[in-house]
Amino acid sequence: MKLSAIVAALGGELRGDDRDIQRLAPMDEAGASDITFLANPKYRSQLVATEAAAVIVKPALAEEAAKVGRSLILAADPYLYFARVARLFSPLPQAQGGVHPRAVVAESCRIAASSEVRELVSIGRNVIIGERCILHPGVVIGDDVCLGDDVVLYPNVVVYHGCRLGSRVMVHAGAVIGADGFGLAWNSDRWFKIPQTGVVVIADDVEIGANTTIDRGALSDTVIGEGAKLDNQIQIAHNVTVGAHTAMAGCAAVAGSTRIGARCTIGGAARIIGHLEIADGTHVGAGTLISKSIRKADAYTAVYPMATHKEWLANAAHVRHLDDLVTRVKQLEKALSTAQQNKD
């Protein structure tokens, strides 16, 4: 693809020769037919060494970047622009309409003619599937499920009965949508299972990573808001709400009935206990445990720094006696205050 074609499609300003581009690459690996980007100024030293045909940079760096003799595309946000170039070079697969003869589909289903149902897919009763969807091998769709347009379900995705997915939803391999929430009541000497009668509702433009699980609601629904992005191996419990355009990294876990606001970021392996409210625009660091509601948007982190095992044991011994130490400090402060008063 010519640089001029990229600029015609995505905007920006071309400086230098209109070169042919074969692929995208990081600056330190790019070759003579590659395009790369500079988003973080601390990597500007790599401009001199890169062999890329073209570099995407901010306008403020145009003069400096031009000295290295590369073609440039000037963009306000080079990282976002690079992502859009990547989409140009790697377009989403297009559905080839039709149902494979080795798929099992209930007669009461309504599947748009433009959608593709591949081999070994199982679709239950009264399912509605919109236009241009792709269901990869091994997908299982329960009764009364509704899929919007342009939905992609990768191999072995399971969508339980009654769940609803909006348009342009992408669910990666092995994810389970709508399994029962962990609802139990203690009955004298054993657990009694509480029926989980809600469903999972996923809005438009959501992406769900491989082996992520989203439980159905106990009474009301579990809801994933528009444009939310969930990484691999995430657990979303029953009745959770994830706000629009919130992004969650791998292995995060959210307990039941918590409401996460819009435009939040949740770091990998973060844990959020149940029945909490997380404000819009909150950022939770990796490995952080959130045990109370967050009413004010900010960045929250609670992770001990790494130490050797010997150091950790020594520090843990002191932490165990922290309350005693605080009590002694207060007693000393009180004694010093009394002594000072007597002196005065």
Each residue's pLDDT tens digit, 9-25: 999 999 999 999 999 99
Q: Per-residue pLDDT tens for 266-287?
A: 999 999 999 999 999 999 999 9
Other CB atoms within a 10 A radius of the CB of residue 83 amount to: 12
Chosen domain end from 43, 66, 89:
89
Q: Is residue 275 located within the same domain as residue 317?
A: no
**Sheet harboring 110-111: ordered strands across?**
110-111, 128-129, 146-147, 164-165, 200-202, 222-224, 241-242, 259-260, 277-278
Least Cα distance to 138 among 155, 115, 124, 116 occurs for 155
Q: Is residue 84 located within the same domain as residue 159?
A: no
Q: Among 100, 161, 238, 321, which one carries the catalytic annotation? A: 238
Q: Per-residue pLDDT tens for 130-152?
A: 999 999 999 999 999 999 999 99
Band of the pLDDT at 75, cuts 50, 70, 90? very high
Residue 341 lies inside a defined structural domain of this protein: no
Q: What is the pLDDT of residue 63?
A: 85
Question: Is the separation of the CB atoms in 225 and 247 below 8 Å?
Answer: no
80 has a pLDDT exceeding 90: yes
Give the domain range for residue 330.
309-335
Residue 273 lies inside a defined structural domain of this protein: yes
Q: Is residue 107 located within the same domain as residue 226?
A: yes
Q: Per-residue pLDDT tens for 290-344?
A: 999 999 999 999 877 788 999 989 988 888 899 999 999 999 999 999 888 888 7
Q: What is the pLDDT of residue 334?
A: 92
Chosen domain end from 36, 69, 89:
89
Other CB atoms within a 10 A radius of the CB of residue 193 amount to: 11
309 is catalytic: no
Chosen domain end from 89, 113, 137:
89
Q: Is residue 35 located within the same domain as residue 64?
A: yes
Q: Is residue 108 located within the same domain as residue 69?
A: no
Q: Is residue 229 located within the same domain as residue 103?
A: yes
Q: What is the pLDDT of residue 17?
A: 94
